[in-house]
C-alpha cells in the first residue's frame, strides 16, 4: 500500500467511524445519555451534529485527486484535540460519568488516537516524497 493510499484509507476510516458515532448520538441520544451517566441528552445531539460535519470534511479531503496537506494537518490536530479532551474529561469530570461512559470514552479515544497516528506517519512519508498539495 502506498503512503497516499494509506492516508486516504485512514482518512476514510476516520470519516466512517465519525459518521457511525454521529448516527448513534443523533438516533439514540436519550438512552445513550442514560448509559454513560448524563442527565441531559442535548450534549450528545450537539456532538452528533459536530461529528457529522467533521466526517463530511474528512471524507471530502480524502476523496480529492491530491490530498491537501493543510487540511490533513487540521484533521490530525482535531483528532489529537479529541484525545486530549477525552483525557481531561476522564481526569477531571469522571465523577459525572458512569463506568460504562468512562469505558466508552476511553475506547473512542483509543480509536481516534490510532487514526491520528497512522495519518501522521502517512503524511510524513508523503511530505518526503512530495505527493500531496500544500
Using the 8-state DSSP alphabet, how is residue 94 labeled? G
Q: Are 53 and 22 in contact (CB under 8 A)?
A: no
pLDDT value of position 61 = 97
pLDDT in tens, 47-90: 999 999 999 999 999 999 999 999 999 999 999 999 999 999 99
pLDDT value of position 130 = 63
pLDDT of 26 > 80? The answer is yes
The residues spanned by each domain of the chain are 3-129
Q: Report the alpha-carbon distance of residue 76 to residue 71 in Å, rounded.
A: 9
What pTM was estimated for this model as a whole? 0.91
pLDDT of 93 > 90? The answer is yes
φ and ψ of 130, to 5 deg: 55, 45
Q: Are 82 and 42 in contact (CB under 8 A)?
A: no
- Please give the residue that has the higher pLDDT: either 126 or 53: 53
Distance of CA 104 to the CA centre of its chain: 14
pLDDT value of position 131 = 52
| Local confidence band at 4 (pLDDT 50, 70, 90 cut-offs) | confident
Mean pLDDT across 119-132:
82
- Which ranges in the chain belong to alpha helices (H)? 3-27, 29-36, 42-62, 69-92, 99-129
Using the 8-state DSSP alphabet, how is residue 132 labeled? S
| Local confidence band at 132 (pLDDT 50, 70, 90 cut-offs) | low
For residue 68, list its beta bridge partners. Answer: 133
Q: Which long-range contacts (CB under 8 A, 24 or more apart) does 68-73 make?
A: 68/132, 68/133, 68/134, 69/123, 69/126, 69/127, 69/132, 69/133, 69/134, 70/134, 72/7, 72/11, 72/119, 72/123, 72/132, 73/123
Cell 460535519, residue located? 53
pLDDT in tens, 98-121: 999 999 999 999 999 999 999 999
Amino acid at each position: 500500500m502506498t503512503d497516499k493510499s494509506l492516508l486516504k484509507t485512514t482518512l476514510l476510516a476516520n470519516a466512517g467511524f465519525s459518521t457511525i458515532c454521529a448516527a448513534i448520538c443523533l438516533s439514540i441520544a436519550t438512552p445513550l445519555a442514560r448509559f454513560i451517566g448524563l442527565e441531559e441528552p442535548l450534549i450528545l445531539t450537539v456532538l452528533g451534529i459536530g461529528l457529522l460535519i467533521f466526517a463530511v470534511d474528512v471524507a471530502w479531503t480524502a476523496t480529492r485527486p491530491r490530498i491537501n496537506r493543510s487540511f490533513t494537518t487540521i484533521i490530525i490536530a482535531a483528532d489529537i484535540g479529541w484525545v486530549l479532551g477525552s483525557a481531561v474529561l476522564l481526569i477531571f469530570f469522571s465523577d459525572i460519568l458512569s463506568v460504562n461512559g468512562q469505558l466508552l470514552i476511553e475506547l473512542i479515544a483509543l480509536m481516534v488516537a490510532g487514526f491520528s497516528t497512522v495519518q501522521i506517519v502517512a503524511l510524513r512519508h508523503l511530505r518526503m516524497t512530495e505527493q500531496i498539495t500544500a
